[in-house]
A and B are shown apart, each in its own frame.
Chain A
Amino acid sequence: MKTATLRARFEPEIAFTTYDDVRAALHNPDLSRSISLAHEAGNILENVVMVLDREQHRDRRRVESAAFRPETLIEIERRIFPGLIHKTLAELTAGETADLVELGGVLTVGLSARNAGIDLVNGGYEEKRHLVHYLDVIARGVSIDAATRRVEVVKAEVQQALAGFRTDYFEPSVARRREAPVSDRSDVLTMLLLAQAELKLSDEDIMRETAFFLEAGSHSSAQTLTNTTHFLLEYSKIHPDAWHMVAESRLFAQRCVHESVRLRPTNTMIKRRALRDTNVGSTPVISGALIGLDIVAANSDVDVYGERAAEFDPLRVVPPSAARYGHSFGAGVHACIGRTLAIGLPIRDDREFAEGHLFGMVPLMLSVLAARGIEPAPTASVPETGTRRWTRWHSYPIKLRRR
């Protein structure tokens, strides 16, 4: 069967599991992020920055970096996002059950849309839910190499979601920017439209790129928020003051998020295709080989994180040479462009953080939810996620005790 063959070919020929080997692989320019044209063609991934290499990647990323400048990130974290959270939560009623995955998506999608350059009509809760639904489907296309269903079925669903996204959001946002350019706009869409000829991009390319940014910013943050909450609900049984600390200390909230991201990365097995013969550590990799980077194993490497590496411990001491969040955001040229926006700057145990330290959107959301008294809500069965990336949630019912 065709799908079975395709899936079988997607089992990596070599898997790397140590922190150092995975780091070396992520920094190796001979290992491409583009792993299969069969998965990329006709999918959200086609020609997006994530699958480009070398100069093409550098030139695209340079243009898009304008949306993630330091002054922009500071403005978002200190002024824009806190207001967005409170406005969105004001629409929820205390004591009612909410789905944390959806809530996380709704909380972050307004900001992600702003950065991607997608204009919302009224920015209300229902409109954001509508957009989050598109992004949930698009996320299945991003992780298509780990799909549990036939690739053709996933692609067809993604195409349908992209068609809705194009009509409802993309085309009006493009028209607005072409009709009335605003010189101080620096969102991804604006920057790509300005560089469209130079980068030789079609409108379709730009549509996929903005949808990809929107998905990456919103969907991953919602999953990270859910994973951290899941860990904290367990951790607080042994450390009853944990939620209070999360509510009171943004730094502790950030430690919890980094620890959660380390143990439950959004992508559990990063894949790379060798462009030419190369080495990862002392292991030779031949041209064309598909390699797997086991992020869960590398992030639990006892040589780096200690004997109890597999446990959730926000107060863990980590060597200065390692990241608290492990390799969950990748590294090297394909390191996630939105990492600082999502989870802030690295935390070091050996010194105080700088005055301009950023904590990130997810820790901020977590703090606010902790202050409102988050607790699990009993529920019926939860649907399948449709992916082998087991760290993802389809839904996670919660209650907030206070508005």
Chain B
Amino acid sequence: MKQRSLRATVDRELCVKSGECVLIAPGDFELDAEGISVFVGAIGDEARIEEAMNNCPSHAISIIRERSANEGGNQ
């Protein structure tokens, strides 16, 4: 069975501290002490993480999809 792991990154220079991502994907994003968003990925809800990325006003969120180590397929 194919498996993919997903993580997101937040560009600290671009983030405007709107907190939109925290509201849309709670548990996957948090605000740090400065109010900047960080990806924590505690839930891993792919749809919500994607929605948070699409709604980020400053385009600070990027999603990285990685193939897991046990994934088969062409090498």
Residues of A within 8 A of B (CB): 27, 58, 61-62, 65-66, 68-70, 73, 320-321, 331-335, 337, 340, 345-346, 348, 350-351, 354-356, 358
Contacts and interface: CB of A to CB of B under 8 A. Distances in A.
B18 interface: yes
**Contact size class for B?**
20 to 34
A348 B17 CA distance: 24
A333 B58 contact: yes
A68 B47 contact: no
A348 B23 contact: no
Q: Is the interface of A mostly helix, strand, loop or mixed?
A: loop
A321 B57 CA distance: 16
B22 interface: yes
Nearest to A74: B23
A346 B48 CA distance: 11
Contacts of B26: 354-356
A62 B23 contact: no
Interface centre among B17, B22, B31 (most CB of A within 10 A): B17
Nearest to B25: A354
Interface string B34-63: 010000000000011001001101110000
Contact of B55 (A69, A346, A351): A346
B16 A346 contact: no
Nearest to A57: B16
Given A58-B58, A346-B51, 8 more contacts: A58-B14, A320-B47, A320-B51, A333-B57, A333-B59, A348-B47, A348-B51, A354-B26
13 contacts: A27-B59, A62-B35, A66-B35, A68-B18, A70-B22, A70-B31, A73-B19, A333-B16, A333-B58, A335-B57, A346-B24, A354-B24, A358-B23
A95 B44 CA distance: 52
B16 A62 contact: yes
